[in-house]
Amino acid sequence: MPSEQHFGSSGGVRQGKVGINAHLLSGEAGYRRAGIHQYIAQVLRHLPWEEGEPTYVVFTQQKNLFEDMPAITAVSSRLSTTNRLLRIFWEQVVWPGQLRQHNISLLHSMAFVTPLLSTCPAVITVYDLSFLHFPERFPILQRLYLSSQTRRSCRRARRIITISESSRQDVHRFFGVPLSQIDVVVPGVDPVYQPLPADQVAAFRHKHHLDRFVLHVGTLQPRKNIPVLIEAMAQLADPELKLVLVGGKGWLYDDIFRQVQALGLAERVIFTGYVPDDELPLWYNAAELLVFPSVYEGFGLPVVEAMACGTPVIAANCSSIPEAVGEAGLLFAPDDVETLVKQMTAVLTDTDLQNKLRQQGLNHARAFSWARAGRETAAVYHRALQISDF
Protein backbone atom coordinates (compact mmCIF):
# COMPACT_ATOMS: atom_id res chain seq x y z
CA MET A 1 0.00 0.00 0.00
CA PRO A 2 1.23 3.52 -0.71
CA SER A 3 2.07 5.69 2.25
CA GLU A 4 0.01 8.84 2.75
CA GLN A 5 0.77 11.99 4.64
CA HIS A 6 -1.64 14.87 5.15
CA PHE A 7 -0.32 18.32 5.95
CA GLY A 8 -2.54 20.60 7.95
CA SER A 9 -6.29 20.95 8.21
CA SER A 10 -8.66 23.25 6.41
CA GLY A 11 -11.35 23.50 9.07
CA GLY A 12 -13.93 23.96 6.33
CA VAL A 13 -16.00 22.13 3.77
CA ARG A 14 -13.97 20.77 0.88
CA GLN A 15 -15.48 20.76 -2.58
CA GLY A 16 -13.78 17.94 -4.40
CA LYS A 17 -10.18 16.83 -4.79
CA VAL A 18 -7.70 17.36 -7.59
CA GLY A 19 -5.30 14.42 -7.99
CA ILE A 20 -1.96 15.53 -9.44
CA ASN A 21 0.66 13.23 -10.96
CA ALA A 22 4.00 14.74 -9.92
CA HIS A 23 6.19 11.64 -10.20
CA LEU A 24 8.60 13.49 -12.48
CA LEU A 25 9.73 15.47 -9.46
CA SER A 26 13.26 14.31 -8.79
CA GLY A 27 15.17 14.13 -5.54
CA GLU A 28 18.46 13.27 -7.22
CA ALA A 29 21.03 15.48 -8.93
CA GLY A 30 20.89 15.06 -12.68
CA TYR A 31 19.11 16.14 -15.81
CA ARG A 32 15.71 15.15 -14.39
CA ARG A 33 15.95 18.11 -12.00
CA ALA A 34 16.00 20.48 -14.95
CA GLY A 35 13.10 22.43 -16.48
CA ILE A 36 10.11 20.13 -15.98
CA HIS A 37 11.06 19.35 -12.38
CA GLN A 38 11.34 23.05 -11.58
CA TYR A 39 8.04 23.87 -13.25
CA ILE A 40 6.12 21.14 -11.41
CA ALA A 41 7.67 21.94 -8.03
CA GLN A 42 7.12 25.68 -8.29
CA VAL A 43 3.56 25.51 -9.60
CA LEU A 44 2.50 23.09 -6.86
CA ARG A 45 4.25 25.14 -4.18
CA HIS A 46 2.29 28.20 -5.34
CA LEU A 47 -1.18 26.72 -5.74
CA PRO A 48 -3.58 29.04 -3.90
CA TRP A 49 -6.21 27.67 -1.60
CA GLU A 50 -9.04 28.92 0.59
CA GLU A 51 -11.46 27.01 2.78
CA GLY A 52 -14.30 25.47 0.82
CA GLU A 53 -12.30 25.14 -2.39
CA PRO A 54 -10.96 21.89 -3.90
CA THR A 55 -7.97 20.39 -2.16
CA TYR A 56 -5.01 18.68 -3.80
CA VAL A 57 -3.75 15.11 -3.62
CA VAL A 58 -0.22 15.11 -5.05
CA PHE A 59 1.13 11.72 -6.12
CA THR A 60 4.91 11.99 -5.77
CA GLN A 61 7.97 10.43 -4.19
CA GLN A 62 9.10 13.89 -3.01
CA LYS A 63 6.60 14.43 -0.18
CA ASN A 64 8.95 16.67 1.77
CA LEU A 65 8.34 19.49 -0.73
CA PHE A 66 4.79 19.94 0.56
CA GLU A 67 5.08 19.53 4.33
CA ASP A 68 3.97 23.09 5.07
CA MET A 69 1.03 23.22 2.66
CA PRO A 70 -2.33 22.69 4.39
CA ALA A 71 -4.33 21.94 1.24
CA ILE A 72 -2.02 19.20 -0.05
CA THR A 73 -2.09 15.51 0.77
CA ALA A 74 1.06 13.85 -0.56
CA VAL A 75 0.87 10.18 -1.60
CA SER A 76 3.92 8.11 -2.49
CA SER A 77 4.40 4.69 -4.07
CA ARG A 78 6.62 1.74 -3.26
CA LEU A 79 7.57 1.59 -6.93
CA SER A 80 10.81 3.31 -7.89
CA THR A 81 9.24 5.66 -10.40
CA THR A 82 12.58 7.26 -11.29
CA ASN A 83 12.76 4.24 -13.61
CA ARG A 84 10.84 5.16 -16.77
CA LEU A 85 9.18 1.75 -17.23
CA LEU A 86 8.08 1.57 -13.60
CA ARG A 87 6.76 5.13 -13.84
CA ILE A 88 4.69 4.20 -16.88
CA PHE A 89 3.40 1.11 -15.04
CA TRP A 90 2.42 3.28 -12.08
CA GLU A 91 0.83 5.85 -14.39
CA GLN A 92 -1.25 3.35 -16.34
CA VAL A 93 -1.98 0.60 -13.80
CA VAL A 94 -1.57 1.85 -10.23
CA TRP A 95 -2.74 5.45 -10.48
CA PRO A 96 -6.32 4.71 -11.66
CA GLY A 97 -6.87 2.67 -8.51
CA GLN A 98 -5.43 5.41 -6.32
CA LEU A 99 -7.71 7.96 -7.98
CA ARG A 100 -10.73 5.87 -6.89
CA GLN A 101 -9.24 5.24 -3.46
CA HIS A 102 -8.85 8.97 -2.78
CA ASN A 103 -12.18 9.93 -4.36
CA ILE A 104 -10.56 12.26 -6.89
CA SER A 105 -12.87 14.63 -8.79
CA LEU A 106 -10.31 15.81 -11.34
CA LEU A 107 -6.91 14.41 -12.28
CA HIS A 108 -4.00 16.49 -13.52
CA SER A 109 -1.14 14.82 -15.32
CA MET A 110 1.76 17.29 -15.13
CA ALA A 111 3.71 15.42 -17.81
CA PHE A 112 1.91 14.64 -21.07
CA VAL A 113 0.02 11.40 -20.38
CA THR A 114 -3.15 10.36 -18.53
CA PRO A 115 -4.18 6.78 -17.57
CA LEU A 116 -5.76 4.86 -20.43
CA LEU A 117 -8.39 3.19 -18.23
CA SER A 118 -9.36 6.14 -16.04
CA THR A 119 -12.78 7.76 -16.49
CA CYS A 120 -11.91 10.69 -14.21
CA PRO A 121 -12.09 14.14 -15.87
CA ALA A 122 -8.59 15.28 -16.71
CA VAL A 123 -6.26 18.23 -17.12
CA ILE A 124 -2.93 17.61 -18.84
CA THR A 125 0.21 19.72 -19.05
CA VAL A 126 2.14 19.58 -22.32
CA TYR A 127 5.51 21.32 -22.18
CA ASP A 128 6.48 20.87 -25.81
CA LEU A 129 6.03 18.51 -28.75
CA SER A 130 9.69 18.10 -29.61
CA PHE A 131 9.16 14.35 -30.05
CA LEU A 132 6.91 15.18 -33.03
CA HIS A 133 9.01 18.03 -34.43
CA PHE A 134 12.29 16.10 -34.20
CA PRO A 135 11.43 12.38 -33.87
CA GLU A 136 14.91 11.32 -35.01
CA ARG A 137 16.42 12.98 -31.94
CA PHE A 138 14.58 10.73 -29.46
CA PRO A 139 15.10 7.07 -28.53
CA ILE A 140 12.46 5.20 -30.52
CA LEU A 141 10.49 3.66 -27.64
CA GLN A 142 10.34 6.97 -25.76
CA ARG A 143 9.17 8.73 -28.92
CA LEU A 144 6.48 6.15 -29.70
CA TYR A 145 5.07 6.22 -26.18
CA LEU A 146 5.02 9.99 -25.94
CA SER A 147 3.58 10.60 -29.39
CA SER A 148 0.76 8.03 -29.16
CA GLN A 149 -0.21 8.60 -25.53
CA THR A 150 0.06 12.40 -25.57
CA ARG A 151 -2.23 12.51 -28.60
CA ARG A 152 -4.79 10.28 -26.89
CA SER A 153 -4.55 12.16 -23.59
CA CYS A 154 -4.95 15.59 -25.19
CA ARG A 155 -8.01 14.53 -27.13
CA ARG A 156 -9.70 13.18 -23.99
CA ALA A 157 -8.74 15.92 -21.52
CA ARG A 158 -11.20 18.58 -20.41
CA ARG A 159 -8.47 21.20 -20.52
CA ILE A 160 -4.83 21.33 -21.57
CA ILE A 161 -2.10 23.53 -20.09
CA THR A 162 0.89 24.61 -22.16
CA ILE A 163 3.76 26.83 -21.03
CA SER A 164 3.87 29.09 -24.08
CA GLU A 165 1.68 30.30 -26.91
CA SER A 166 3.96 28.43 -29.32
CA SER A 167 3.21 25.12 -27.59
CA ARG A 168 -0.50 25.99 -27.46
CA GLN A 169 -0.51 26.37 -31.24
CA ASP A 170 1.42 23.09 -31.60
CA VAL A 171 -1.16 21.13 -29.59
CA HIS A 172 -3.93 22.64 -31.70
CA ARG A 173 -2.11 21.91 -34.99
CA PHE A 174 -0.87 18.37 -34.25
CA PHE A 175 -3.82 17.02 -32.27
CA GLY A 176 -6.77 19.11 -33.47
CA VAL A 177 -7.66 20.33 -29.98
CA PRO A 178 -9.68 23.58 -30.08
CA LEU A 179 -7.66 26.60 -28.95
CA SER A 180 -10.48 27.46 -26.54
CA GLN A 181 -9.65 24.28 -24.63
CA ILE A 182 -5.95 25.11 -24.17
CA ASP A 183 -4.64 27.44 -21.44
CA VAL A 184 -1.15 28.97 -21.34
CA VAL A 185 0.52 29.05 -17.90
CA VAL A 186 3.92 30.67 -18.35
CA PRO A 187 6.72 29.75 -15.91
CA GLY A 188 7.91 32.15 -13.25
CA VAL A 189 11.34 33.09 -11.99
CA ASP A 190 12.42 32.28 -8.44
CA PRO A 191 13.67 35.28 -6.43
CA VAL A 192 17.04 33.54 -5.97
CA TYR A 193 17.80 34.57 -9.54
CA GLN A 194 19.01 38.13 -9.02
CA PRO A 195 22.21 40.17 -9.34
CA LEU A 196 24.63 39.09 -6.61
CA PRO A 197 27.36 41.12 -4.85
CA ALA A 198 30.50 41.58 -6.95
CA ASP A 199 32.80 40.09 -4.30
CA GLN A 200 30.66 36.95 -4.07
CA VAL A 201 30.74 36.52 -7.85
CA ALA A 202 34.50 37.13 -7.96
CA ALA A 203 35.07 34.50 -5.28
CA PHE A 204 32.95 32.04 -7.27
CA ARG A 205 35.02 32.64 -10.42
CA HIS A 206 38.24 32.19 -8.42
CA LYS A 207 36.97 28.94 -6.91
CA HIS A 208 36.31 27.50 -10.36
CA HIS A 209 39.49 28.94 -11.91
CA LEU A 210 37.48 30.97 -14.40
CA ASP A 211 37.81 34.50 -15.67
CA ARG A 212 35.67 35.32 -18.71
CA PHE A 213 33.25 32.71 -19.99
CA VAL A 214 30.13 32.18 -22.09
CA LEU A 215 27.41 30.09 -20.43
CA HIS A 216 24.91 27.52 -21.69
CA VAL A 217 22.38 25.98 -19.31
CA GLY A 218 20.47 22.90 -20.42
CA THR A 219 20.50 19.13 -20.62
CA LEU A 220 22.98 17.66 -23.08
CA GLN A 221 20.66 16.38 -25.79
CA PRO A 222 20.28 16.96 -29.54
CA ARG A 223 17.59 19.64 -29.66
CA LYS A 224 19.66 21.97 -27.48
CA ASN A 225 21.78 22.52 -30.61
CA ILE A 226 25.00 22.79 -28.61
CA PRO A 227 27.27 21.96 -31.60
CA VAL A 228 26.38 25.34 -33.18
CA LEU A 229 27.57 27.11 -30.03
CA ILE A 230 30.78 25.07 -29.95
CA GLU A 231 31.45 25.95 -33.59
CA ALA A 232 30.92 29.64 -32.81
CA MET A 233 33.36 29.41 -29.91
CA ALA A 234 35.99 27.96 -32.24
CA GLN A 235 35.64 31.02 -34.47
CA LEU A 236 35.91 33.67 -31.74
CA ALA A 237 39.18 35.56 -31.68
CA ASP A 238 39.69 35.43 -27.90
CA PRO A 239 41.56 32.19 -27.01
CA GLU A 240 41.22 32.92 -23.26
CA LEU A 241 37.40 32.93 -23.38
CA LYS A 242 35.85 29.73 -22.02
CA LEU A 243 32.54 28.03 -22.74
CA VAL A 244 30.80 26.50 -19.72
CA LEU A 245 28.09 23.92 -20.39
CA VAL A 246 25.94 23.53 -17.28
CA GLY A 247 23.60 20.55 -17.40
CA GLY A 248 23.37 16.83 -16.95
CA LYS A 249 23.74 14.23 -19.68
CA GLY A 250 20.42 13.49 -21.33
CA TRP A 251 20.68 11.33 -24.46
CA LEU A 252 22.51 11.19 -27.81
CA TYR A 253 25.18 13.55 -26.48
CA ASP A 254 28.37 11.79 -27.65
CA ASP A 255 28.68 14.02 -30.73
CA ILE A 256 29.16 17.04 -28.46
CA PHE A 257 32.25 15.55 -26.82
CA ARG A 258 33.63 14.40 -30.18
CA GLN A 259 33.21 17.88 -31.66
CA VAL A 260 35.05 19.52 -28.76
CA GLN A 261 37.99 17.20 -29.34
CA ALA A 262 37.92 17.59 -33.12
CA LEU A 263 38.04 21.40 -32.89
CA GLY A 264 40.83 21.38 -30.34
CA LEU A 265 38.66 23.02 -27.67
CA ALA A 266 39.21 20.58 -24.81
CA GLU A 267 40.90 23.31 -22.71
CA ARG A 268 38.24 25.93 -23.48
CA VAL A 269 34.99 23.96 -23.05
CA ILE A 270 34.03 23.02 -19.50
CA PHE A 271 31.35 20.45 -18.72
CA THR A 272 30.06 20.95 -15.19
CA GLY A 273 27.39 18.27 -15.25
CA TYR A 274 24.30 18.97 -13.18
CA VAL A 275 24.85 21.77 -10.65
CA PRO A 276 22.87 22.22 -7.41
CA ASP A 277 19.89 24.57 -7.56
CA ASP A 278 21.43 27.03 -5.11
CA GLU A 279 24.61 27.30 -7.23
CA LEU A 280 22.95 28.11 -10.54
CA PRO A 281 22.41 31.85 -9.80
CA LEU A 282 26.17 32.18 -9.30
CA TRP A 283 26.88 30.65 -12.71
CA TYR A 284 24.50 33.13 -14.34
CA ASN A 285 26.02 36.07 -12.47
CA ALA A 286 29.59 35.07 -13.26
CA ALA A 287 29.03 34.63 -17.01
CA GLU A 288 29.70 37.29 -19.63
CA LEU A 289 26.55 36.18 -21.43
CA LEU A 290 24.19 33.25 -21.86
CA VAL A 291 23.81 31.69 -25.31
CA PHE A 292 20.71 29.56 -25.85
CA PRO A 293 20.81 28.04 -29.36
CA SER A 294 18.06 25.41 -28.95
CA VAL A 295 16.10 24.45 -32.06
CA TYR A 296 12.91 23.88 -30.06
CA GLU A 297 11.65 24.68 -26.56
CA GLY A 298 8.38 24.65 -24.72
CA PHE A 299 9.50 27.92 -23.15
CA GLY A 300 13.24 28.29 -22.41
CA LEU A 301 13.40 29.15 -18.71
CA PRO A 302 17.22 29.63 -18.55
CA VAL A 303 16.77 32.69 -20.78
CA VAL A 304 14.63 34.47 -18.19
CA GLU A 305 16.67 33.21 -15.22
CA ALA A 306 19.81 34.66 -16.78
CA MET A 307 18.08 37.98 -17.43
CA ALA A 308 16.90 38.10 -13.81
CA CYS A 309 20.57 37.86 -12.81
CA GLY A 310 21.52 40.73 -15.10
CA THR A 311 23.24 38.52 -17.66
CA PRO A 312 22.98 39.44 -21.38
CA VAL A 313 21.24 36.80 -23.53
CA ILE A 314 21.62 35.62 -27.12
CA ALA A 315 19.07 33.00 -28.16
CA ALA A 316 17.65 31.18 -31.15
CA ASN A 317 14.67 32.77 -32.89
CA CYS A 318 12.50 29.65 -33.13
CA SER A 319 9.57 27.95 -31.37
CA SER A 320 8.69 29.60 -28.04
CA ILE A 321 12.10 31.14 -27.38
CA PRO A 322 11.21 34.63 -28.70
CA GLU A 323 8.36 34.66 -26.15
CA ALA A 324 10.88 34.11 -23.37
CA VAL A 325 13.35 36.65 -24.76
CA GLY A 326 10.87 39.41 -25.64
CA GLU A 327 12.69 42.61 -26.61
CA ALA A 328 15.40 42.07 -24.01
CA GLY A 329 17.91 39.90 -25.86
CA LEU A 330 19.46 39.18 -29.26
CA LEU A 331 18.05 36.50 -31.58
CA PHE A 332 19.64 34.46 -34.34
CA ALA A 333 18.60 31.60 -36.65
CA PRO A 334 19.69 28.38 -34.92
CA ASP A 335 21.79 27.21 -37.89
CA ASP A 336 23.45 30.59 -38.52
CA VAL A 337 26.89 30.28 -36.93
CA GLU A 338 28.17 33.44 -38.63
CA THR A 339 25.50 35.67 -37.10
CA LEU A 340 25.98 34.05 -33.71
CA VAL A 341 29.72 34.79 -33.83
CA LYS A 342 29.03 38.43 -34.72
CA GLN A 343 26.47 38.82 -31.91
CA MET A 344 28.72 37.18 -29.32
CA THR A 345 31.63 39.38 -30.39
CA ALA A 346 29.46 42.49 -30.10
CA VAL A 347 28.22 41.65 -26.60
CA LEU A 348 31.68 40.67 -25.39
CA THR A 349 33.35 43.87 -26.64
CA ASP A 350 30.70 46.61 -26.50
CA THR A 351 30.15 47.89 -22.95
CA ASP A 352 27.16 50.01 -23.94
CA LEU A 353 25.45 46.99 -25.50
CA GLN A 354 26.20 44.90 -22.43
CA ASN A 355 24.63 47.48 -20.12
CA LYS A 356 21.60 47.90 -22.37
CA LEU A 357 20.91 44.16 -22.48
CA ARG A 358 21.42 43.83 -18.72
CA GLN A 359 18.87 46.53 -17.90
CA GLN A 360 16.34 45.34 -20.47
CA GLY A 361 16.71 41.79 -19.19
CA LEU A 362 16.18 42.77 -15.56
CA ASN A 363 13.02 44.68 -16.48
CA HIS A 364 11.71 41.84 -18.64
CA ALA A 365 12.31 39.13 -16.03
CA ARG A 366 10.15 40.91 -13.46
CA ALA A 367 7.05 39.95 -15.46
CA PHE A 368 7.48 36.22 -14.73
CA SER A 369 5.91 35.08 -11.45
CA TRP A 370 5.46 31.60 -9.97
CA ALA A 371 2.66 32.95 -7.78
CA ARG A 372 0.78 33.92 -10.92
CA ALA A 373 1.51 30.51 -12.47
CA GLY A 374 0.00 28.85 -9.39
CA ARG A 375 -3.13 31.03 -9.54
CA GLU A 376 -3.58 30.40 -13.24
CA THR A 377 -3.23 26.63 -12.75
CA ALA A 378 -5.89 26.69 -10.02
CA ALA A 379 -8.14 28.66 -12.36
CA VAL A 380 -7.78 25.89 -14.94
CA TYR A 381 -8.92 23.36 -12.34
CA HIS A 382 -11.96 25.45 -11.58
CA ARG A 383 -12.86 25.72 -15.24
CA ALA A 384 -12.42 21.95 -15.69
CA LEU A 385 -14.60 21.29 -12.64
CA GLN A 386 -17.11 23.87 -13.92
CA ILE A 387 -17.20 25.75 -10.61
CA SER A 388 -19.17 28.82 -11.49
CA ASP A 389 -18.48 30.90 -8.38
CA PHE A 390 -14.71 31.06 -8.84
Between 28 and 203, whose confidence is greater? 203
Residue type (1 letter), 227: P
Query: Is the torsion defined by CA of 350, 352, 354, 356 positive or negative?
Result: negative
Digit-coded pLDDT (tens) for 352-362: 999 999 999 99
Residue type (1 letter), 218: G
Domains and their CATH numbers in the chain: 4-188+369-385 (3.40.50.2000), 198-365 (3.40.50.2000)
pLDDT of residue 28: 55
pLDDT of residue 208: 94
Task: Give the pLDDT band of residue 129 (cuts 50, 70, 90).
Answer: very high
DSSP H or E run through 352: helix 351-365
pLDDT of residue 8: 37
For the chain, where are the E strands, in sequence order?
4-6, 17-21, 55-59, 72-75, 106-109, 122-126, 159-162, 182-184, 213-217, 242-246, 269-273, 289-292, 313-316, 330-332
Q: DSSP letter at 292?
A: E
Q: What average pLDDT does this structure show over 368-389? A: 87
Dist CA 95 CA 22 (whole Å)? 11
Residue type (1 letter), 113: V
Are β-strands 182-184 and 159-162 bridged in parallel, bridged antiparallel, or unpaired? Answer: parallel
pLDDT exceeds 90 at position 228:
yes
Q: What average pLDDT does this structure show over 224-235? A: 94
pLDDT of residue 221: 82
pLDDT of residue 26: 66
pLDDT exceeds 80 at position 231:
yes
Residue type (1 letter), 284: Y
Closest by Cα among 355, 353, 365, 351 to 307: 365
Q: What average pLDDT does this structure show over 173-191? A: 96
Segments in 135-223 forming alpha helices (H): 140-156, 165-175, 198-207
Digit-coded pLDDT (tens) for 11-39: 333 468 999 999 988 655 444 445 788 89
pLDDT of residue 4: 43
Residue type (1 letter), 320: S
Digit-coded pLDDT (tens) for 140-157: 888 899 999 999 999 999
Task: Give the pLDDT band of residue 331 (cuts 50, 70, 90).
Answer: very high
State pTM to two decimals. 0.87
